[in-house]
């Protein structure tokens, strides 16, 4: 092999740089946040059960989005009743604490959903 | 063969470094545009396409023009083009790449670019433009590479590559036709709504593209001892001459229809371009410059003595490229929006960030072109020494 | 996501093709319909039509009515007020006769017509060029004739703006939220980089309300209704008056009619 030294040094450097995020964070794992439910709505049921919502809320919102915008269907038969398919009105109507309910988890996994570029957070925050 | 791009003189590396620098500046300016929105450009509600899309249009022509080398060689056995077709193919690769980047920097939501593929919409000409451009890119990469590969190995060109070459000839026509259809099928944009837009595009492309290629060959002759047969230069400049004559002829046809029919919508754009209208005349000096440069280049090209003299030929080619670029790479797209559908005159001029981003895209294209041509020359040199 | 529910949504979308889900839900035996939660009422009283259309009675319009209509629209849809006219967003706005109908302008237009601006908006064409050119189906025509935008899907290529012969489309060159005073929480704002236009208040029709501009005009200056219904107010107005549409020669078949 030509330039053995250079090649091996290069590989070692690459491995170090590539794995940098892992070993710099060893032993520093943050505890996953628990999304907080607004106390006023504690005990109420969501459009689907908690486990389903936890795993699928993003797909559900995507389906709602297409259904409302493209098909003109605006209501949803959930496991517990009929709901308006609306992020602002239905979801945020109960979960009106975006910071504790949405952002805490999304920030933890460093995710920035585009929803809020257009949809307005909640009635409380925008009365000005 | 790739390693040929890694061996070069100081001048070569300085050139590559300069291009990389430009690309870097362009990239950071694009990040600025990305964060602020297209408001940093000169585009407006009325003139909603500008410099970027005009460059796309011009460069599709440059890409298509490679066929002016490929066709005479493969269909008419015009042997002097034998060593040059590869340059046409590689120029097409570089030009199509630039086209794609100019579309990308023009998008308001580039992150959603793949929606064009996720929700394929055959009734949109833009869908077909994407299809033919990516197909043309693929064809030229494969063909160019295989031609070079067979030269390197001093073997025959495989049959399947020849088939691809025959396919690439009508495909080249298709990319510029589809690009013309982007415009010529829109109701209410009178400057564009003309059946001869596609032929016009092809004529100006077959004048400007080979002119650019000839200029590049002259540079390579000086900088890299590249051998360009005189006969090839002659044939190419005759092709350029006829294409330019057709281009001017087509433009005059448009004007005849507009002015003799006297239909206001058809006249307005020409009026705005050449004499100004409603106190707006930003395009007037450019258009007259385009006319003068075009006439100048045509005179030099038509007279055989001047066409055959390398010095006057270079002057003719440079003025021809400038003339067609003003007409197609600036005016045609922008003036299609002037006046707007409500008969109001809003002018457009690109802003500095817009120009810097465009320079960055051009630098990417030039870098790709440089590397590909370097490889081609390297392979040639090696074959000659063997 | 649970595929049964997925399919249900799809089927309901096809079956209802309109604005209420209840009959489809029943037909599919999707269980008992429980009372709607508070705040989501009003979807069964949705206004529906086979072909929505509008008549603009320019004779009745006053400057005040025009302003009220535009203001109502801007408020309902969070249309920003951008001072730089190059970046302006317009859904419903005032234009002079010579601008709305450039082919018909001339020296002998009655002074009243020439002076008084008229309202212009998306024409919700029957054969919309914007829909034809959109490479992602982000803009499309609904079964009831309304040409709408899916802001989620728009890539911001602005081909539709080149295609629209009425200048009815606007692009968000800047973040519109910087230019909004009070926001209406019931309708989203837009993000920078997407195109927008009038949607005939599809979101209000779904709630049983007429378009905001129609509601803001107190004297029937704007008439809105179903062209397929011979007794609708639009059909009556069209029968009783000679009307114009903008640029009929382009074959777009606009569905906003003007009584001059």
Judging contacts by C-beta atoms under 8 Å, the chain B residues touching residue C162 are 48-49, 183, 186, 189, 336-337
Report strand pairing: C222-226 vs A75-78: unpaired
Q: What integer pLDDT is reported at residue A123 of this predicted model?
A: 55
Residue A102 domain-assigned? Answer: yes
Residue A101 domain-assigned? Answer: yes
DSSP assignment, residue A33?
Answer: P
- Cα C235 from Cα B183, distance rounded (Å): 36
C7 near A CB under 8 A: no
- Per-window interface: B 344-363 vs C, CB < 8 A: 344, 346
- The residue to which tokens 């964060």 are assigned: B35
Q: What integer pLDDT is reported at residue C17 of this predicted model?
A: 39
- The count of CB pairs under 8 A between chains B and C is 148
Q: Which among C214, C171, C195 has a CA at the least distance from the CA of C84?
A: C171
pLDDT surpasses 80 at A55: yes
Q: What integer pLDDT is reported at residue C134 of this predicted model?
A: 97
Sign of the alpha-carbon dihedral angle for A52, A56, A61, A64 = negative
Nearest CA in chain C to A125: C185
Judging contacts by C-beta atoms under 8 Å, the chain B residues touching residue C161 are 45, 48
> pLDDT digits over A68-88, tens only?
999 888 889 887 788 889 888
- Per-window interface: B 32-51 vs C, CB < 8 A: 36-39, 41, 43-46, 48-49
C181 near A CB under 8 A: no
- Cα B384 from Cα B336, distance rounded (Å): 51
Min distance C100 CA to chain B CA atoms (Å): 6
For residue B88, the number of C-alpha atoms closer than 13 Å in the C-beta half-sphere is 28
Residue A79 domain-assigned? Answer: yes
C7: enclosing H helix or E strand? helix C3-16
Min distance C235 CA to chain A CA atoms (Å): 25
Domain range for residue A88? Answer: 31-118
In three-state secondary structure terms, B356 is helix
Min distance B52 CA to chain C CA atoms (Å): 11
Q: What integer pLDDT is reported at residue A1 of this predicted model?
A: 66
Q: What is the mean pLDDT of residues B168-176?
A: 96
Tell me how far apart the 2 most distant CA atoms of chain C are, in Å. Answer: 67
Q: What integer pLDDT is reported at residue C16 of this predicted model?
A: 40
Please judge whether C12 and A84 are an interchain contact, meaning their C-beta atoms are less than 8 angstroms apart: no
- Cα C120 from Cα B13, distance rounded (Å): 59
Q: What integer pLDDT is reported at residue A33 of this predicted model?
A: 82
- Cα B106 from Cα B9, distance rounded (Å): 36
Highest mean pLDDT among A25-29, A115-119, C33-37: A115-119
Report strand pairing: C147-149 vs C170-171: unpaired
Q: Which among C51, C255, C227, C84 has a CA at the least distance from the CA of C168?
A: C255
DSSP β-bridge partners for residue C34: none
In three-state secondary structure terms, C120 is strand
Please judge whether C167 and B46 are an interchain contact, meaning their C-beta atoms are less than 8 angstroms apart: yes
Q: What is the DSSP string of C160-220?
A: HHHH-TT---EE-SS-GGGG-SS--TTS----TT-EE---TTHHHHTTT---HHHHH-TTS
Q: What integer pLDDT is reported at residue B386 of this predicted model?
A: 67
Residue A107 domain-assigned? Answer: yes
Q: What integer pLDDT is reported at residue B225 of this predicted model?
A: 82
Just give the CATH number of B2-385: 1.20.1630.10
CATH level 3 topology of C52-259? Alpha-Beta Plaits (3.30.70)
B379 touches B148 (CB < 8 A): yes
Q: What is the mean pLDDT of residues B54-64?
A: 97
For chain B, domain boundaries = 2-385
pLDDT surpasses 70 at B23: yes
Beta-carbon contacts of B355 under 8 Å, excluding residues fewer than 6 positions away, are: B51
**Residue B143: pLDDT band with limits 50, 70, 90:** very high
Judging contacts by C-beta atoms under 8 Å, the chain B residues touching residue C138 are 115
Residue A95 domain-assigned? Answer: yes
Selected for mutation to probe chain A from C32, C40, C80 (highest A CB count within 10 Å) is: C40
Q: How far is CA B71 from CA A11, B86, B201, in A?
A: 48, 12, 18
C15 near A CB under 8 A: no
- What are the start-end ranges of the H helices in chain B? 10-36, 51-64, 67-76, 85-106, 115-118, 125-152, 159-184, 197-224, 230-261, 264-274, 284-302, 304-308, 310-326, 332-335, 352-385
Nearest CA in chain A to C144: A72
* Overall residue count recorded for chain A in this entry: 128
Please judge whether C25 and A114 are an interchain contact, meaning their C-beta atoms are less than 8 angstroms apart: no
For residue A14, the number of C-alpha atoms closer than 13 Å in the C-beta half-sphere is 6
Structurally, chain A folds into a number of domains equal to: 1
Q: What integer pLDDT is reported at residue B3 of this predicted model?
A: 80
- Below-70 pLDDT ranges, chain C: 1-43
> pLDDT digits over B231-244, tens only?
999 999 999 999 99
> pLDDT digits over B366-379, tens only?
999 999 999 998 88
- Cα C206 from Cα C200, distance rounded (Å): 11
For chain C, domain boundaries = 1-45, 52-259
pLDDT surpasses 90 at B112: yes
Looking at every residue in chain B, the average pLDDT score rounds to 94
pLDDT surpasses 90 at B356: yes
Q: How far is CA A32 from CA A107, A118, B221, C242, in A?
A: 10, 28, 65, 68
Residue A68 domain-assigned? Answer: yes
Residue A53 domain-assigned? Answer: yes
pLDDT surpasses 70 at A37: yes
Percent of chain A at pLDDT above 90? Answer: 28
Q: What integer pLDDT is reported at residue C23 of this predicted model?
A: 37
Q: What is the DSSP string of B60-107?
A: HHHHHTTHHHHHHHHHH--GGGTTTHHHHHHHHHHHHHHHHHHHHHH-
DSSP assignment, residue B280?
Answer: B
């Amino acid at each position: 092999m030509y330039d053995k030294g250079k090649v091996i040094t290069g590989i070692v450097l690459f491995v170090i740089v590539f794995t940098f995020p892992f070993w710099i964070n060893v032993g520093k794992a943050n505890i996953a946040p628990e999304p907080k439910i607004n106390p006023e709505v504690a005990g109420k049921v969501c459009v689907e059960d908690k486990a389903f919502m936890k795993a699928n809320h993003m797909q559900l919102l995507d389906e709602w989005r297409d259904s409302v915008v493209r098909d003109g269907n605006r209501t949803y038969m959930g496991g517990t009743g009929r709901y308006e398919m609306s992020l602002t009105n239905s979801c945020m109507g109960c979960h009106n604490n975006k910071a504790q309910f949405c952002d805490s988890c999304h920030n933890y996994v460093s995710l920035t959903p585009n929803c809020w570029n257009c949809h307005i957070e909640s009635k409380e925050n925008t009365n000005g | 063969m790739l390693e040929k791009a890694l061996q070069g003189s100081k001048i070569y590396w300085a050139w590559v470094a300069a291009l990389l620098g430009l690309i870097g500046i362009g990239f950071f300016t694009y990040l600025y545009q990305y964060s602020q929105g297209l408001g940093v450009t000169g585009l407006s509600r009325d003139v909603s396409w500008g410099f970027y899309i005009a460059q796309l249009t011009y460069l599709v022509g440059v890409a298509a023009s490679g066929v002016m080398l490929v066709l005479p060689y493969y269909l008419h056995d015009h042997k002097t083009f034998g060593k040059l077709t590869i340059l046409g193919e590689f120029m097409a690769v570089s030009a199509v790449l630039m086209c794609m980047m100019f579309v990308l920097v023009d998008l308001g939501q580039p992150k959603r670019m793949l929606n064009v593929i996720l929700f394929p919409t055959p009734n949109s000409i833009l869908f077909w433009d994407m299809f033919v451009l990516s197909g043309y890119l693929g064809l030229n990469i494969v063909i160019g590479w295989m031609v070079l590969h067979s030269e390197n190995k001093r073997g025959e060109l495989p049959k399947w590559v020849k088939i691809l070459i025959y396919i690439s000839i009508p495909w080249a026509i298709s990319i510029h036709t589809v690009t013309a259809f982007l415009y010529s099928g829109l109701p209410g944009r009178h400057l564009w709504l003309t059946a001869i837009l596609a032929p016009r595009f092809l004529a100006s492309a077959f004048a400007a593209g080979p002119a650019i290629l000839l200029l590049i060959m002259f540079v390579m002759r000086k900088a890299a001892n590249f051998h360009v047969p005189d006969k090839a230069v002659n044939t190419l400049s005759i092709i350029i001459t006829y294409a330019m004559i057709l281009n001017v002829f087509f433009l005059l046809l448009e004007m005849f229809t507009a002015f003799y029919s006297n239909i206001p919508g058809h006249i307005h754009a020409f009026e705005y371009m050449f004499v100004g209208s409603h106190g707006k005349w930003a395009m007037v000096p450019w258009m007259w410059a385009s006319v003068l440069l075009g006439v100048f280049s045509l005179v030099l090209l038509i007279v055989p003595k001047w066409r055959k003299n390398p010095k006057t030929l270079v002057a003719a080619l440079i003025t021809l490229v400038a003339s067609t670029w003003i007409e197609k790479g600036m005016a045609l797209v922008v003036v299609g929006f002037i006046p707007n559908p409500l008969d109001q005159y809003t002018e457009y001029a690109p802003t500095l960030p817009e120009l810097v981003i465009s320079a960055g895209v051009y630098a990417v294209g030039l870098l790709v072109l440089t590397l590909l041509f370097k490889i081609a020359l390297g392979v040639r040199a090696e074959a000659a020494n063997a | 996501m649970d595929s049964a529910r997925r399919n249900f949504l799809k089927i309901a979308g096809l079956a209802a093709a309109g604005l209420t889900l209840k009959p489809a839900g029943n037909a599919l035996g999707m269980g008992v319909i429980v009372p709607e939660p508070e705040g989501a009422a009003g979807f069964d009283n949705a206004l529906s039509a086979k072909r929505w259309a509008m008549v603009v009675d320019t004779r009745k319009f006053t400057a005040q009515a025009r302003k009220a209509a535009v203001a109502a629209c801007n408020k309902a849809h969070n249309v920003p007020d951008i001072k730089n006219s190059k970046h302006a967003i317009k859904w419903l706005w005032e234009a002079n006769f010579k601008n709305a109908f450039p082919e018909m302008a001339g020296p002998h237009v009655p002074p009243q017509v020439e002076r008084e601006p008229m309202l212009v908006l998306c024409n919700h064409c029957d054969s919309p060029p914007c829909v034809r050119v959109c490479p992602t189906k982000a803009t499309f025509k609904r079964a009831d004739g309304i040409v709408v935008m899916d802001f989620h899907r728009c890539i911001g290529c602005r081909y539709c703006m080149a295609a629209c012969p009425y200048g009815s489309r606007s692009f968000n060159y800047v973040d519109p939220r910087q230019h909004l005073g009070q926001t209406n929480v019931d309708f989203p704002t837009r993000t920078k980089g997407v195109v927008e236009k009038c949607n005939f208040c599809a979101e209000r029709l779904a709630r049983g309300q007429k378009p905001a501009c129609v509601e803001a005009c107190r004297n029937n200056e704007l008439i809105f209704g179903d062209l397929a219904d011979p007794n609708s107010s639009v059909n009556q107005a069209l029968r009783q008056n000679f009307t114009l549409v903008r640029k009929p020669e382009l074959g777009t078949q606009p569905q906003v009619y003007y009584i001059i």
